[in-house]
Structure 1
Amino acid sequence: MLLRKLYSILTLFCFCVLIISCKEEPKKEIAEKTKEVKKAPPQIKEYGFVLNDYKVVRDTIRPGDSFGAIMDANGVTRGEVYLISEKVKDTFNPARIIAGKPYTILKSKDTSETVKAFIYENDRINYTVIDLQDSVRSFKNKKPVSVKRKMTSGVITSSLSEAMDNAGLSVLLTDKLSDIYQWKIDFFKIQKGDQFKLIYNERWINDTIYGGVKNIEAAVFKHYDSPYYAFSFGKDSLSGFPKFYDEEANSMQSFFLKAPLKFSRISSRYTKRRFHPVQKRWKAHLGTDYAAPTGTPIWSTADGVVIKSSYTRGNGNYVKVRHNEKYTTQYLHMTKRNVKVGQRVKQGDIIGFVGSTGLATGPHVCYRFWVYGKQVDPFKQNLPSSEPLKEELKPDYFMAIESLKKELDSLPFKKMPK
């Protein structure tokens, strides 16, 4: 009987323990889930600061804003602003902040909300930091920039810019492509159905913000069913710009001759103010005069089409050559013209002969230069040159472009929409 009672008591005890343990288990799970929810937020790092540690204020410079007024509105006194400005003036000039530029202010998270740093974005990549935490210091830095390699193709329906836009490509890429082909293709005369393919690199700021086109590695432009390949290889020794060559290592970039003739001296340079020897008054001289004996041949300085071959009282006999949509040249005071309007000329072709017709005191050619319709000094332009690829570099070149050409050829041309 006693044993039976003890057995019953033991059974009841075990049952109670089991119930209690079952009740505690869900409590444990709930506690663990609560811990998971309370995990620390991900660390956000920008401008070299952990932003989680600060109250972050982001804004943009507005017209009429000043550094002092911005800092004053965030609790920094005018006296403190003056001291800060004096200490950082070698790195940051507060008087030169520009409307439209973003800035960030980092404040302490306590009730005082003390300003700890001011960050001014000079452009999309470069920024200036004024650190006020321990002692006042300032420094310039760059946002991390990554490069993404891309391939694309397009087809001309009306213009290159529209084709690029239809392909979702940047205007900057349009400019770079037209610069590469400006000496081979007249983009005023591209045809509906012309096609292109590109391998290029883009810059991305913090891997998320588009930072523009870095460079074009290779391209092919099919114009009148003829493919024009272009591969980047090295840089121009004068301008530092990338050099492009075709699949046979011929330069894609033509160049302007240094002078339109063999000359002994420059008798007058491009200037906004010169005393005219015939008109006897001060006026602009928007050309370069090359003195030479009468009858000296005058050359076209680059390939192009003659758009003027005429005579005026001031210019005398003159010829004007359009080289592409960007560049035009003119040659004045000829004794005789050697070309007609509409005639296509090559670099070095004789277009006339030195004389002293028009307003000239002696035999010379006045050479004038236009960029997008504006007269400029050719000696101050970053004009493309065409240094030939050295023979010893050609094996390296052909090896470098082999894989690029295969990539281009494997990418199908985009076809005309139906």
Structure 2
Amino acid sequence: MTKTLIYFLVSAAFLSSCKEDKEVEIVEEEQPVELAEVLPIMKYGYNLNDYEIIADTVERGDTFGDLIDAHLITGQSTFRAAQALDEVYSVRRIQAGKPYKILKHRDSLNSMAAFIYEPNRMEYVVVNFADSLNAFKGNHPVSYKRKTASGIIKSTLSEAMEDEGLGISAINELSDIYRWSIDFFRLQKGDRFKMIYRERYINDTVFAGIEEVETAVFETDGNPYYAFSFVADSTAQVHDYYDETGKTLRSFFLRAPVNYTRISSRYSGRRFHPVQKRWKAHLGTDYAAGYGTPIISTANGVVIKSGYTRGNGNYVKVKHNETYTTQYLHMQKRLVKVGQRVKQGQTIGLVGSTGLATGPHVCYRFWVNGRQVDPYKQNLPAAEPLPENKKEEYLEFIQPLQEEIDLLPFKELDNDLL
């Protein structure tokens, strides 16, 4: 009996020990680890994840060979690569300061797969070192974002636009739209603007300027000036700006031949000449501007004089039609020749102080039917009007845009600035 009890207790202890050991040895089954999916980075026609990338900038004096020679392997030739590139883009056009990339295979040879050069933010050229050496050009994908902006003048237009986070691209666009109808050098505190526009982006991220201002309103001296972009000629696909009635915002002539800092002397029948020290007529308008500032033709025309005289210095004279002629004096440098056709806004010279001048400026002279006159007192013609057969289409087109811009509020001056 005693032996039987002892045997039972020993057996129970052994079974318990085995059970405990078995429970300790139980290990949970490991779950398989899911690797994160690597998304392809498609650019220039390649998945960049597949390559080692060397990115650099062309330095002054670099040749095409300087850029790729160190990365070539046996069988790859700089000469043949240059020949392929020349088929789509001249090797001589590679410029210092421009970015380039070299793609190399991730293999034991680390051989070159492609050379990529970007002449500007929109375009790129590729030399592909595949089995069949070739080159091609491409454009980065472009997307657009529609935005609105509103601002108010406290001192200058550029400052007002910068206050709203708008860059030089927007400033230039708005200035171009209204350059025939608004004198931006005579804006007053409280003048204001609002606009609806589209921005252009490369690869959805890199800002590439304003694609188009769809509509804008600039209010100055209490008067609103509407502007609507409209394609009147569907064949040429060139847009222009018109007001709410269909009247073109452009004029036959620009208001001034230069982005000036001030008008230093106006047209006058009697003025004391600062160099000759005597009273005489001043049959022009002097626009003060810094040395080298571009001087532009105020209208389309043909250059009839481009030369130098003791009084005028370097000057250019442009005939616009049988009625109108303009002249631009005291240039630092002339950029057009006699007989050359010029377009409105085209640079024809640079501001200087040649001839009888005391400082950098352009003296702008204006003829009507062979007689010199004050351009500010002329009723100058408008540019090509909206075709009459497009008027109804135009008014229907701008209706929703006008409703939208009218609902966009103007900015107001802060109380402490009133």
Q: TM-score range by the shorter chain?
A: 0.5 to 0.7
> In the alignment, which residue of structure 2 is the partner of 1:388?
386
Structure 1 counterpart of 2:185, one-letter code: F
Q: 1:174-189 counterparts in 2 under 5 A?
A: 174-189=171-186
Aligned to 1:312: none
Select 2:30's aligned residue among 28, 31, 44.
28
Whether 1:112 aligns to 2:109 is: yes
Letter of the 1:105 counterpart: I
Structure 2 CA distance for partners of 1:226 and 1:135, relative to 1, 3 Å: same
Partner of 1:244: 241
1:331 alignment partner in structure 2? 367
CA RMSD of aligned residues (A): 3.8
> What residue in structure 2 maps to residue 162 of structure 1?
159
CA deviations on 1:130-182 (whole Å, 9 max, x unpaired) are 00022110110011110011001111111111211121112121111111111
1:45 to 32, 42, 52: 42
Deviation of 1:404 (Å): 1.4
Q: Distance in 1 between matches of 2:10 and 2:245?
A: 106
Gaps of 5+ in 1: 258-267, 275-282, 292-297, 302-322, 349-383
C-alpha distance 14-389 of structure 1, shift in aligned 2 (>3 A):
farther
Change (3 A) 1:8 1:387: farther
What is residue 284 of structure 2 aligned with on the other side?
Answer: none
Equivalent residue runs for 1:337-348 within 5 Å: 344-347=377-380
Contact 2:180 2:253 in 1 (8 A): no
The match for 1:92 among 85, 89, 93 is 89
Q: 1:110 to 1:238 in 2, by over 3 A?
A: closer
1:92 Cα deviation after fit = 2.4
Other-structure match for 1:132: 129
Counterpart residue type for residue 174 of structure 1: I
Which residue of the partner structure matches residue 286 of structure 1?
A: 317
Secondary structure of the corresponding residue to residue 270 of structure 1: strand
Offset at 1:187? 1.2
Instruction: State the secondary structure of the residue aligned to 1:286.
Output: strand
Q: Tell me if the contact between 2:241 and 2:250 (Cα under 8 Å) persists in the aligned partners.
A: yes
Contact 2:325 2:366 in 1 (8 A): no
Q: Alpha carbons of 1:170 and 1:39: their partners in 2 closer, same or farther (altered >3 Å)?
A: same
Q: 2:65 aligns with which of 65, 68, 71?
A: 68
The separation in 2 between residues aligned to 1:413 and 1:154, in whole angstroms, is 7
Question: Separation in 2 of the partners of 1:129 and 1:146?
Answer: 22
1:388 alignment partner AA:
L
The CA distance in 1 between the partners of 2:9 and 2:156, in whole Å, is 102
TM-score of the pair, normalised by structure 2: 0.67
d(CA) in 2 for partners of 1:211, 1:176: 14
Letter of the structure 1 residue corresponding to residue 116 of structure 2: I
Contact 2:191 2:219 in 1 (8 A): yes
Aligned to 1:364: none
The residue matched to 1:404 in structure 2 has which SS?
Answer: helix
TM-score, normalising length: structure 1: 0.67
Q: Which residue does the alignment assign to 1:81?
A: 78
**2:208 alignment partner AA:** G
Report matched runs for 1:188-267 at 5 Å.
188-235=185-232, 241-256=238-253
Please state how far the C-alpha of 1:238 moved relative to its aligned partner.
11
**How far apart, in 1, do the equivalents of 2:383 and 2:73 lie?**
55
Give the percent of matched residue pairs that are identical in Structure 1 and Structure 2: 36
Give the whole-Å Cα distance in 2 for the aligned partners of 1:3 and 1:405.
101
Q: 1:271 to 1:40 in 2, by over 3 A?
A: same
SS at match of 1:103: strand
Q: Give deviations 1:55-80, integer Å, cap 9, x for gaps.
A: 11011111111110111122357981
Contact 1:251–1:389 under 8 Å retained in 2: no
Using a 3 Å threshold, how does the CA distance of structure 1 residues 188 and 237 change in structure 2: closer, same or farther? farther
How far apart, in 2, do the equivalents of 1:164 and 1:239 lie? Answer: 32
- Contact 2:180–2:251 (8 Å) recurs in 1: yes
Give the residue type in structure 2 aligned to 1:288.
K
Q: Secondary structure at the match of 2:59?
A: coil
Name 2:141's counterpart in structure 1. 144
Give ranges in structure 2 of 5+ residues lacking alignment: 255-300, 308-313, 327-343, 349-363
CA distance in 2, matches of 1:270, 1:188: 28
Distance 1:342 1:248, change over 3 A: closer
**Aligned AA (2:63):** S
Check 1:329–1:90 CA distance in 2 against 1; reply closer, same or farther (3 A cut).
farther
Q: 1:18 to 1:67 in 2, by over 3 A?
A: same
Aligned AA (2:377): R
TM-superposed CA distance for 1:234, in Å, is 0.7
Q: Kindly tell me: are residues 273 and 164 of structure 1, through their superposed partners in 2, closer, same or farther at Cα, counting changes over 3 Å?
A: closer
Aligned to 1:404: 401
What is the distance in 2 between the residues matched to 1:299 and 1:224? Answer: 31
Partner-residue secondary structure (3-state), 1:42: coil
Matched residues in 2 for 1:300 and 1:194: separation?
34
Amino acid at match of 1:347: L
Tell me: CA distance 1:395–1:165, structure 2 relative to 1, closer, same or farther (3 Å): same
Deviations 1:221-248 (A, max 9, x none): 0111111111111156898642111112
